[in-house]
Chain A
Amino acid sequence: MGYTPEMLEMIKKVEATRAARVEKKARGEEFAAMGIDERNELKKKFHPDYKSDALRKVKIGPNAGDEMVNKFVDVLETPSSLELDKVDLNKVDYETDVLIIGGGGAGCAAAIMAAEEGANVLLMTKLRLGDANTMMAEGGIQAAVRAKDSPRTHFLDTIGGGHFKNEPELVRALVFDAPVVIDWLDRLGTMFTKNEKGVMMTIHGGGTSKKRMHSAADMSGAEIMRTLRDAARGKPNVTVVEFEPAVELILDDKGQCFGAVVKNLETNQYKVVRAKATIVSTGGSGRLHYQDFDTTNHYGATGDGLVMAYHAGCKLCFMHPVQYHPTGVVYPAQNIGLLITEKVRGLGAQPINAEGEQFVFPKEPRDIESSAFIRECHDRGKGVPTPTGRVGVWLDSPMIDMLHGEGTVRRELPAKFRQFMNHGIDISRLPMLVYPTLHYQNGGVEMESDAHSKQIPNLYFAGEVAGGIHGENRLMGNSLLDINVFGRRAGGSAAKASRSVELGSPSLTHVVEYNREAGKKGLTGRVAAPILLPDYVGKIK
């Protein structure tokens, strides 16, 4: 339990420089931030995306010839996991106006809005309602609310953080809806951290020029997810079916989305859903463990929606840059890969190397911060070794109480405090040891700003499965925002469209064709996809 004597010895070097660093920080002095050119050079040398074996060209489907992250290409270059001979499309098991695939934050936001538009909603989810990356987000949600801030500034921060590659119309939607989303969540009963006048606490995140990160202690995602889940459950016209994920989308003879084939995970039976509009909100893919990285992601984050949409003919974008969160747990070993919120740095904790020195501005955009950590550990040799052979840098959390007063860590970071205390480490007294961890799928399926698919009628996307909003790199606090903005838009758009849709006859020909092409190209050796659940049997992950 706790740090080993060797590690406690190493911590003394951090303690030796702490008082001076706190004093400087309190004066507003920080390690200098990098310019754009310096950032680019660092990234090319040290970011995992730039390793020679990081990417490969996809050989099949709508993006054939595009480079994507290697292990994701594995789940595209393989036949469908749907057992076609066990599906009877003539027998419809569920009929609904709006089908929502995935019960995380985006799915629940969509369900609420679609229900308020008067649609009957069927929400099918792989695990329990609310079991999602949304639940695990800690730091906060961005919105330009203060008078000195504006949606325009939020737009520029977001698009600069994404290396100017973001789809401008999607970013406009994101930042413009942001204050409305905060207001909506507040009215639904989210307990945002506020002062006695009702003013919400806001802090910086990496890459923000104004403090616009709103939070609910360090359980912002959990608090938002619990609220959205309860609100969705309260809608009389929302039906939720758990442990029954979609495996493939169904198209009709006009090429529109007709619904989906779902699979009961306990009985292994397939069922057919007929829906006038379908929303895919299945989340990300961290559990594919790109480049063998540990991940902060939920157990269900296996990229199923991307695969289904791809089989149906949707194009993907930005599947080459992956977000590694700079501060993943490296010690204790039981928690390897788990997220330590960026809020810790937002509150003043600095990354420190083995010599007790600062080596990077604490709030660079995530890709830059991660690259700097990797350089410190593997190039400069100033990383801190762990008993299990890992290496990391210190995140000097005791600075927080020194800067903001005794008890701040416990008040602002209650979940993190508890998690480390479970392993005998008091993070208000001792630093945490961190290393970049696989965190976010920057890209996803192409969509319009009303959340509609760019390729297939009657099909909508919301949340991490969608691509283009964040360009090549997402800023902290823009993900809790995006699931709400596009969840709400998808729900509203789908419900309205469902009133006038005429469905044709259902077909899975696109899946048959995909399998045939995979066979023809010899892409049949690997596990079929979507994989639905990660394979950890006999492993320690």
Chain B
Amino acid sequence: MSAEAKTKEKEEKVGLDLSKANFIDIYIMGKRYSVPDTLPIMKALEFCGYKLIRGVGCRGGVCGACATVYRTKGDPALKVALACQKVVEPEMYLAQIPFFPAGRAVYDDIEKMEPTAATVRGMYPEIAKCMGCNTCTKSCPQDLKVMEYISAALRGDIEKAARLSFECVMCGLCTTRCPANIVQPNVGILCRRLYGSRMAIKSPELARRVREIKEGKHDKPMDEVVAVAKKGVDKLRPLYEEVQKDKEPDSTPRFGED
């Protein structure tokens, strides 16, 4: 195979024009590798030959599986990132966190729990030991105000804790850095569930529809349409076209009962 063909094959394999790429050195668990400078850490790991088992998930920044810590040469600061989102930097020394012990309090039926400070403090008493260092907030790859939601939880402002933690991907980086041994993501999910289940106002139209279904009000129309469906496309298509013709316009309010 000619050199040119080899380069082409390699490029097809990696899906990137390597001749135009700018390569930089990074250090994966202390070992030096040269990688294109546009890659997120996760793709750089794979490019270097790692087959990932832990430390990989959605690859889109929502699942929190790929918590990573790093330092860059000459800078004492320990930095954190999601490997699928953070693009590599020159002289980056990195390692992924495969697992971090973090306890979840024992609770089951959220509907029977009171959305109060006492509940949250009862489940996670260590939140009272928060010393206000704000390291959790500084180590959040989602830029959430972690310390603020912990203090809201401590005060019993469950709604605020729920809203401030809503975008938490539960990667646990804050937990690895907390000197008070708080497991912030678990406090966050408890508050969100308490808020969603016990505090957010229940939808009246949803309650009505669930009641109708339980009372069998939709059984007959459903039986009829299923019977038509079993007869085949020709019978069903006019019914479909009928409901599609009655398409609700886009300009109506997105909220609100009919």
Residues of A within 8 A of B (CB): 25-28, 30, 36, 127-128, 130-131, 135-136, 144-148, 150-153, 155-157, 159-160, 164, 168-169, 171-172, 175-176, 179-180, 182-183, 186-192, 194-204, 209-211, 217, 219, 221-223, 226-227, 230-231, 233-236, 243, 265-266, 296, 298-300, 333-335, 338-339, 348, 388-389, 414-415, 418-419, 422, 533, 535-541
Contact = CB atoms under 8 A, between A and B. Distances in A.
Nearest to B143: A418
A194 B218 CA distance: 25
B209 A145 contact: yes
Given A30-B250, A189-B192, A197 B204 contact: yes
Interface string B141-157: 01100000000000000
A176 B14 contact: no
B78 to A, nearest CB: 20
Contacts of A36: 237, 241
B83 to A, nearest CB: 12
Nearest to B105: A234
B63 A136 contact: yes
Contacts of A236: 108
A422 B141 CA distance: 11
Contact of A186 (B63, B85, B202, B221): B202
B229 A168 contact: yes
A388 B244 contact: no
Nearest to B232: A164
B203 A186 contact: yes
14 contacts: A28-B251, A150-B218, A155-B222, A160-B240, A168-B230, A183-B206, A188-B196, A209-B247, A227-B189, A235-B108, A243-B53, A333-B38, A334-B39, A388-B17
Nearest to B252: A211
B166 A217 contact: yes
**Which residue among B16, B46, B111, B252 has the maximum number of chain A CB atoms within 10 Å of its CB?**
B46
A189 B116 CA distance: 15
B196 A219 contact: no
Interface string B185-209: 0000110111111101111111111
Interface of B: 13-17, 36, 38-40, 43, 46-47, 49-54, 56-63, 65, 85, 87, 104, 106-108, 110-111, 142-143, 162, 166-167, 169-170, 189-190, 192-198, 200-210, 213, 218, 221-222, 225-226, 229-230, 232-233, 236-237, 239-241, 243-244, 246-252, 254-258
Contacts of A418: 61, 142-143, 167
Q: List 4 A-B pairs, minimum CB-CB distance, nearest first.
A: A189-B193, A198-B201, A189-B197, A160-B240
B256 A199 contact: yes
A199 B204 contact: yes
B251 A539 contact: no
Contacts, number: 273
Contacts of A175: 222
Contacts of A209: 243-244, 246-248
A189 B190 CA distance: 9
Given A298-B57, A414-B167, A204 B250 contact: yes
**Which residue among A127, A131, A179 has the maximum number of chain B CB atoms within 10 Å of its CB?**
A179
Contacts of A152: 218, 221-222, 225
Nearest to A217: B166
A152 B209 CA distance: 13
Given A131-B58, A234-B107, A226 B218 contact: no
Contacts of B204: 197-199
A535 B56 CA distance: 13
A127 B57 contact: yes
Contacts of A338: 59-60
A200 B17 contact: no
A168 B43 contact: no
A196 B17 CA distance: 52
Given A30-B250, A151-B222, A539 B14 contact: yes
B61 A419 contact: yes
B206 A219 contact: no
B47 A148 contact: no
A195 B200 CA distance: 10
A329 to B, nearest CB: 9
Nearest to A169: B226
B203 A145 contact: yes
Contact of A195 (B38, B104, B221, B255): B255
Given A30-B250, A147-B205, A155-B222, A334 B38 contact: yes
A299 B52 contact: yes
Contacts of B252: 211
A234 B189 CA distance: 12
Given A189-B195, A222-B169, A233-B104, A199 B58 contact: no
B32 to A, nearest CB: 17
A199 B205 contact: yes
B80 to A, nearest CB: 14
A164 B237 contact: yes
Contacts of A176: 213, 218, 222
A234 B51 contact: no
Contacts of A540: 14-16, 36, 39, 43, 46-47
B193 A230 contact: yes
B192 A28 contact: no
Contacts of A199: 203-205, 255-257
Given A131-B65, A172-B222, A338-B60, A198 B257 contact: no
A190 B51 contact: no
A168 B223 CA distance: 10
Contacts of B225: 152, 155-156
Given A194-B201, A537-B49, A538-B14, A151 B240 contact: no
Given A135-B62, A156-B240, A176-B213, A200 B194 contact: no
B206 A186 contact: yes
Contact of A147 (B218, B243, B257): B257
B63 A188 contact: no
A285 to B, nearest CB: 16
Nearest to B197: A189
A278 B210 CA distance: 30
A157 B236 CA distance: 11
Contact of A146 (B14, B251, B258): B258
Contacts of A192: 196, 200
A231 B110 contact: yes
Contact of B254 (A151, A202, A300, A422): A202
Contacts of B50: 537
B46 A541 contact: yes
A239 to B, nearest CB: 14
Nearest to B239: A156
Nearest to B18: A540
Contacts of B243: 153, 156-157, 209
A164 B236 CA distance: 8
B210 A186 contact: no
A265 B53 contact: yes
A327 B1 CA distance: 39
B57 A128 contact: yes
A27 B251 CA distance: 7
Contacts of A160: 236-237, 240, 244
